[in-house]
C-alpha cells in the first residue's frame, strides 16, 4: 500500500487520515484544516490562528468580500426562484475572521448549548447575518442560504410565533432549504 500524501510504499506502521493511508513521515507534517491531509507539496497558507490550508484547497476558500457578495446574490436569486422567498430587508452582512466570529456568536450560542468553534455563520436578528471568512465556497453558500432562511422566519413569523416552534423544526427547515439549494 502507498502513502496517499507522498506516494511512497508504506512499510510497517501508518495512520489513516480522512480515510487515506498516510506514512509516519508524512503524518508529522502540518495538516490542512479543510481536506485534513498533511501538506507535503507547497507552503501551508495561514488562514487565521487556528486554520491552515494546503495550496490545493486554498483557491476554493472565500477570503474576500467580493466573493461573499457574489455567493450572497446567488443565494438570494435561488431562494426567490425555488421557494418564492424574498426578504423584506437585510441591513448588515458581517464577514468576520475565526476569532471575531467566536466573539460575535459566543453569547447567543452558549445559551443554545452550541460551541462557537464550529460556527460558519449566524443570523443575529431579523436583518443581520454573520459569515465566517476562510470557509469553502460550497459551505459558505449553504451557510448564507441557511441564515437567510432564518431571516425569512424572523420576518414572516415574528418572535412570538418563532417562540412557539421547536428549535429543531426551525433549524431543520433552514437545513432543508440550504440542502435543496446545494443539490
Q: What is the pLDDT of residues 34-85, one digit of tens each?
A: 999 999 999 999 998 889 999 999 999 999 999 999 999 999 999 999 999 9
The pLDDT value recorded for residue 112 is 56
The pLDDT value recorded for residue 122 is 84
The pLDDT value recorded for residue 36 is 93
The pLDDT value recorded for residue 118 is 63
Rounded to 5°, the CA angle 98-99-105 comes to: 90
The pLDDT value recorded for residue 40 is 93
* E runs forming strands in 13-166: 14-17, 20-23, 45-48, 51-53, 61-62, 92-96, 121-123, 128-132, 135-136
As annotated, the residues of the chain forming the CATH 1.10.10 domain(s) are: 61-182
The pLDDT value recorded for residue 29 is 96
Mean pLDDT by 10 residues, the chain (183 residues): 96 93 96 95 91 96 96 94 87 84 69 60 80 94 94 85 87 94 86
Fold of 61-182: Arc Repressor Mutant, subunit A (1.10.10)
The pLDDT value recorded for residue 22 is 97
The set of residues, in sequence order, having a beta carbon less than 8 Å from that of 35 and lying 6+ positions away, is 18, 54, 56, 57
Full-model pTM: 0.84
- Measured between alpha carbons, how far is 37 from 39 in angstroms, rounded to an integer? 6
Amino acid at each position: 500500500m502507498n502513502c496517499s500524501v507522498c506516494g511512497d510504499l508504506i512499510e510497517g506502521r501508518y495512520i489513516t487520515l480522512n480515510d487515506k493511508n498516510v506514512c509516519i513521515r508524512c503524518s508529522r507534517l502540518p495538516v490542512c484544516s479543510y481536506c485534513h491531509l498533511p501538506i507535503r507539496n507547497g507552503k501551508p497558507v495561514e488562514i487565521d490562528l487556528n486554520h491552515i490550508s494546503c495550496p490545493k484547497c486554498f483557491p476554493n476558500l472565500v477570503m474576500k468580500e467580493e466573493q461573499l457578495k457574489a455567493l450572497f446574490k446567488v443565494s438570494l436569486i435561488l431562494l426567490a426562484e425555488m421557494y418564492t422567498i424574498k426578504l423584506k430587508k437585510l441591513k448588515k452582512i458581517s464577514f468576520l475572521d475565526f476569532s471575531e466570529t467566536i466573539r460575535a456568536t459566543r453569547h447567543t450560542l452558549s445559551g443554545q448549548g452550541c460551541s462557537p468553534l464550529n460556527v460558519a455563520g449566524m443570523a443575529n436578528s431579523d436583518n443581520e447575518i454573520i459569515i465566517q471568512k476562510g470557509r469553502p465556497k460550497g459551505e459558505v453558500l449553504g451557510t448564507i442560504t441557511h441564515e437567510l432562511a432564518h431571516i425569512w422566519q424572523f420576518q414572516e413569523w415574528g418572535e412570538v410565533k418563532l417562540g412557539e416552534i421547536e428549535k429543531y423544526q426551525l433549524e431543520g427547515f433552514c437545513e432543508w432549504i440550504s440542502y435543496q439549494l446545494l443539490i
